[in-house]
Amino acid sequence: MANIITCTTTDGETIQYVDEIIGSGSMKDVYFSPDKSYVVAFYKQPQNAQAKERIDMITGRYRKNIFEQSGGDYWRSVFCWPTSVVQHEGKTGIVVPCYQPHFFFKYGSKNNDFLNIKGREKEGKWFASASNQNKFLDPRERGNTLSYLKVCLLLTRAVRRMHAAGLCHSDLSYKNVLIDPEQGHACVIDIDGLVVPGKYPPDVVGTPDFIAPEVVRTSHLPKDDPQRILPSISTDRHALAVLIYMYLFYRHPLRGGKIHDMDDEMRDESLAMGERALFIEHPTDRSNAVKVGQASPASLPWADPQKIPYTIMGPYLTPLFDKAFIDGLHDPAKRPTADEWETALVKTVDLIQPCQNKDCEQEWYVFSGKTKPVCPYCSTPYKGKLPILNLYSSRKAGSYRPDDHRLMVWSGQSLYAWHVNRLIAPNERTTDAQKKRVGYFVFHNDRWWLVNEGITGLMSLPDKKAIAIGDKLALEDGTQFVLSTEEGGRLVVVQLVTN
């Protein structure tokens, strides 16, 4: 039996760990607490005064600012944030909560778990390429379009919160996030290296595939050279866009068919990810388009953007991919913020439609605005009546303007407080009361209905008839109804497409 070591954190808490290394990286050795509720990670190298100050700030002031404010509890599942610092036998360590159970593989890999991943953490890299998923992962743990949209939404919220606190991650990548696509969970890890621009410089420049082109382009310069570009909030924005793209399309947005240097592999890589980085789906410059013949069979059809183009993610995400990989690829000021991604992802989740093919691996797809929807993954056309709710909201009493927001209807689809009123946003400040659904949709006797479970102001137009809680409202083409007459309250116009 390994010894249990007892020591005291710098803020006076008694902690224990089992004297047996459970994980070792380039910077830290990690030990479990006896009850496995937290780990203690000791740095291998002595930490200088600036590094110690940064860890103190991350476990102290920055942590309090995020977790002890309104909505702070929300972040406990989205960040694996170190809670305290420990000094023991000349070594500096941090105490970090253990990962939640859903971030460990339940089923293991294919062929009797030949990779031995059962029980290991779900590092995001396992899910970011089609060949990894097809070759190695149990289908039950692979997720679908809807669960990946939820994963991306959580990641954007985490990054938005860090940036609002003036922090940048500096190494945002699939190695430093855990995801659970089965249920749509995500968690940002390795928080102890956070960068405070202008105060605490980055320890690393990032992980290949996620380093912004301007950082790659200047990486040969000394760290103190004024021309050298180091990780910052704008380079995090590039990494976030790459993560979102990889989780929705299982391929990398810049790794296409273009070769920049036939003789020097390292220079070729440096140019492809840096100075000459080019979006593989660039609409006018096709020189970096994917050579599908060179793709491995396990990565298809995902590796072929002609078959699954980025535009299938609908009207809100498509322009952000354009901003990230066309306008902002070499112009950091034009990159979308985490806020913009969050808004677009919330609206995109409302456009989701279940595929009518029960064997479709993705199960869901985003409604693209076409009147004859077809699943882009299995080519199954939608059959039947399809109600689309166009949302308008009041800016002043009695006057409604379009919100550029639609809600697709499917059997069991829910209405929430943020659909009823534009001023309520689904995020960390959403109250428990606001999280309860207030209505749902059902197809009955060849008609679509909205069942009112908790909307106090539901009223049909033009007759201004109140629809009481417990009653239902038929959805026909052109049906109009008001969800709320308060400021920000929504008016809905129904468009019924029949295929």
Residue span(s) of the chain under CATH 1.10.510.10 come to 103-350
Q: Which position has the token pair 């309520």?
A: 424
State the number of CA atoms in the 13 A half-sphere of 441 facing the CB: 19
Checking if the pLDDT of 76 tops 80, the result is yes
> CA 494, 450, 381 angle in degrees (round to 5)?
60
pLDDT for residue 25: 83
Amino acid at 403: D
Checking if the pLDDT of 258 tops 80, the result is yes
CATH architecture of the domain with range 384-498: Sandwich (2.60)
CA distances (Å), 260 to each of 273, 278, 408, in order?
11, 11, 45
Q: What is the mean pLDDT of residues 154-172?
A: 96
pLDDT for residue 102: 95
Q: Which CATH class is domain 4-98?
A: alpha beta
pLDDT for residue 205: 84
Residue of 245, 264, 262 whose CA lies nearest to 254: 245
Positive or negative torsion for Cα 239, 29, 73, 37: positive
Q: What is the mean pLDDT of residues 275-298?
A: 95
Residue span(s) of the chain under CATH 3.30.200.20 come to 4-98
pLDDT in tens, 387-399: 999 999 988 777 8
Give the containing element (helix H, strand E) for 491.
strand 490-498
CA distance 82 to 379: 46
Confidence band for 116, pLDDT divided at 50, 70 and 90: confident
397 Cβ partners below 8 Å, 6+ apart? Answer: 485, 487
Checking if the pLDDT of 312 tops 80, the result is yes
Q: In the structure encoding, which two tokens stand for residue 348, read together?
A: 């995109």
Whether the ω angle into residue 181 lies within 30 degrees of 0, i.e. cis, is: no
Amino acid at 470: G
What percent of the chain has a predicted confidence (pLDDT) above 70? 100
pLDDT in tens, 177-234: 999 999 999 999 989 889 887 888 887 889 999 999 999 999 999 988 999 999 999 9
pLDDT in tens, 7-49: 999 999 999 999 999 988 888 999 999 999 999 999 999 999 9
CA distance 97 to 135: 32
Helix (H, G, I), strand (E, B) or coil at 180: strand
Helix (H, G, I), strand (E, B) or coil at 194: coil
Q: What is the mean pLDDT of residues 406-433?
A: 96
Task: Quote the distance between the C-alpha of residue 47 and its chain's center.
Answer: 32
The CATH H-level superfamily of 103-350 is Transferase(Phosphotransferase) domain 1 (1.10.510.10)
Confidence band for 322, pLDDT divided at 50, 70 and 90: very high
Q: Please give the full DSSP string across 197-229, using - where no structure is assigned.
A: TTTB--S----TTTS-HHHHHTTTS-TT-TT--
Checking if the pLDDT of 106 tops 80, the result is yes
Residue 415 and residue 437 in contact, taking contact as beta carbons nearer than 8 Å: yes
- As to burial, measured by CB atoms within 10 angstroms (0-12 exposed, 13-18 middle, 19+ buried), residue 198 is exposed
Residue span(s) of the chain under CATH 2.60.200.20 come to 384-498
